[in-house]
Amino acid sequence: MMKQYRFKGSLGMTVATIMVMALCIRLGLWQYHKADAKQHAQYQIDQGLLHAPNQLPTHAAKQEDWQYKRVRFTGTYLPQYQILLDNRVHNGKAGYHVLTPVKIDDSESVVLVNRGWVNGGANRVLPDIATPSGQQQFVGDLFFPLEKVFSLEAESKSTINWEPLWQHLDMQRYQSAVPFEVKPFIVRMDAQTEAGGFIREWPIPKTRINVHLGYAYQWFGFALTFFVIYLVLNIQRVTKEA
């Protein structure tokens, strides 16, 4: 007796398997690219710690070239256009990130500086934020917020009734609400900078690299599993006499 095998797969099962495998592979690549982006961000941060900070770019910087780059500049706070980002958590406590615009010395441009986290308190009353006056020295990392943010907040078009509490940072909305040119990125103030900063424990990209890689390998494993199941279900053994 001779044992032979033949493949007999239906069109519907073949198409379905290809679609599911393609989806799993795409999700795996998405997670892999996120891990790669975190790796690049960590490299930028590490290089910033090893070398002297760069000068703040005068023109709109490309995100891929400047994300997490360490910069140095001098300027003066404009606290009347300060905003607080709500629902920022530190050590399990809810609070705010304080973002204050800074007029850059010898320039007409303004950059938003994230001064760190402050406690929100139990009564949810906005805290009184002390802001130093005069020229300040700043060192920090560049950070590009998301270009499109979904929010139920009403868009503010007036600088007369300033709205200090925001749920998300929308740079286009902020630009339309202030009477000056603001750069398309923010500066997350360095923890050692003494310019009216608060708690500054920024997320470390490398802590998420292995998580994203784990998800990527998981999705690739799902794709392989579906392929093996497809083969098992569609390969039939045929027995013939010698």
| pLDDT digit string, tens, across residues 36-63 | 888 877 777 777 666 777 888 877 666 6
From residue 42, alpha-carbon distances to 37, 49, 78, 205 in Å are 9, 11, 31, 6
Question: pLDDT tens digits for 108-158?
Answer: 889 999 999 999 877 778 888 999 999 999 999 888 886 654 444 555 444
Q: Determine the 3-state secondary structure of 137 from DSSP.
A: strand
Tokens of 151: 């929010």
Q: Is the pLDDT of residue 234 over 90?
A: no
Mean pLDDT of the chain: 84
What is the pLDDT confidence band of residue 27, given thresholds at 50, 70 and 90?
A: very high
How many beta carbons lie within 10 A of that of residue 150, not counting itself? 7
Burial class (CB in 10 A: 0-12, 13-18, 19+), 76: middle
Residue carrying structure tokens 């339309």 = 176
| 200 touches 190 (CB < 8 A) | yes
Report the C-alpha gap between 150 and 155 in whole angstroms: 12
Residues 6+ apart with CB under 8 A from 145: 169, 170, 171, 185, 186
Other CB atoms within a 10 A radius of the CB of residue 55 amount to: 9
Cα–Cα dist 42/129, whole Å: 31
Both tokens of 164, joined, read 């200090």
Residue 234 buriedness (CB in 10 A; 0-12 / 13-18 / 19+): middle
Q: How far apart are the first and last CA of the chain?
A: 5
- Alpha carbons 108 and 131: distance in angstroms, whole number: 21
Q: How much is the pLDDT for 130?
A: 92
Task: Give the three-class secondary structure for 173.
Answer: helix
Rounded-to-integer distance, Cα 195 and Cα 209, Å: 32
Task: For residue 62, give both structure tokens.
Answer: 């490309």
- Beta partners for residue 139, in sequence order: 72
Rounded Cα distance between 231 and 9, Å, is 8
